[in-house]
Amino acid sequence: MKNWQEQLRYDPIPPLVSSNEAVTYFVRRDLLEEEVSSISHLWELPEAQKICKNQLVDGSWKYPGKKPVVYPEHHYSLVETWKQFRFLVEKYEFTKEHPCARKAAEYLFSCQTEEGDIRGMIANQYATYYTGAIMSLLIKAGYEDDSRIEKGFQWLLSMRQDDLGWTIPILTVHFDRETMYKLTSQYCEPVQPDRSKPFSHNWTGMVLRAFAAHKKYRKSREAAIAGTLLKSRFFQKDVYTSYQKASYWVKFQYPFWWNNLVSALDSLSLIGFTKDDPDIKKALEWFIDHQQEDGLWKISYVEPEKKRTESAKEKEMKLWVSLAICRILKRFYG
């Protein structure tokens, strides 16, 4: 038994290794350190192929819901492409070696501005958080050394607050509801940040994923500073009203979208923080204390305990979240 497993009351390996083919593959490779077949084996799974089949010629995916008129025209395509690219990269480890991932990456890069940010998630406003999160996927897909990624990092570094963390620039300035709606649905010049305002742990957490994914930038002083800010806010509410409740720390999903305790620790474990750090120790102990008897973790610890049947989607999400937690524990405890 590995050191990380000895920290737990229940063994998570049996339920994970007997689950779906992709989860089982990563359990054997990442947790048990067994020899496995080429990652391209997962690319051929029906679930992955279904995603690829729905890709459009330009590399994007069609947004399935209603599309109210909004700026820019590519907003909904960008949102849906980010969503689907997450699944390909995080659940099946697609890289640019596969044409589907390559086309998707080029579509995402086509939304990069001359300044360096990915534009279009909130009209023409700066979206530091999505730029970082999208960059993390592109890096994992094999674009780590691409000049467009470097351009993105330089932009992210230029957009820090005075405290050296990140927020969403438009949130640092007070606007009435009508003006805010206009800024986020029509063409308007990007709002420049009030850098004296404090960082947001939610948006810093999403930006930090790009640094954690990059072999050079994860070792940078800037990543260490931002990581220190992020962990200082564990279990606290955010300073901005968007996703403000402290309970968002313990509401999980995989692939990662919003910041939470799993996604934050995933980044911090790669940046170089150790289990002896008081904030990290507190978070790790929380996971150890909240493991279920079946060896897994719930996807949300927000709702009060009540008996109900989990949906198939929730059961699968629980497996992926638990795998992510086990990877984190293994990095910290060995």
| pLDDT score at 27 | 98
**pLDDT, tens only, 289-304:** 999 999 999 999 997 6
CA 113, CA 328: separation in Å to the nearest integer?
A: 34
- 52 close to 100: Cβ distance less than 8 angstroms: yes
**Token output for 68:** 């109210």
Contact 78, 60 (CB under 8 A): yes
Give the pLDDT of residue 165. Answer: 98
Which of 156, 187, 188 is closest to 173 using CA atoms? 188
Measure the CA–CA gap between 198 and 105, rounded to whole angstroms: 32
Total residue count of the chain as it appears in this document? 334
Q: What is the DSSP letter of 61?
A: B
Long-range (24+ apart) CB contacts under 8 A made by 278-281 are 279/231, 279/232, 279/234, 280/231, 280/332
Segment (H or E) for 282: helix 278-289
pLDDT per 10-residue tile (average), the chain, 334 residues:
91 94 98 96 98 98 83 93 98 98 99 98 97 99 98 99 98 96 95 98 98 98 99 97 93 98 99 98 98 96 76 93 98 96
pLDDT tens digits along 95-129: 999 999 999 999 999 999 999 999 999 999 999 99
Instruction: Work out the number of other CB atoms within 10 angstroms of the CB of residue 150.
Output: 15
Q: How many Å apart are CA 120 and CA 111, to the nearest integer?
A: 7
In contact, 161 and 198? CB cutoff 8 Å? yes
Per-residue confidence (pLDDT) for residue 309, from 0 to 100: 79
pLDDT score for 68: 75
Q: What is the pLDDT of residue 297?
A: 98
For 170, half-sphere exposure in the C-beta direction (CA atoms, 13 angstrom radius) is 23
Token code pair at residue 166: 């990140």
Question: What distance in Å separates the CA atoms of residue 174 and residue 177, rounded to the nearest whole number?
Answer: 10
Please give the pLDDT value at position 305: 62
Q: Give the residue extent of every domain in the chain.
A: 1-37+291-333
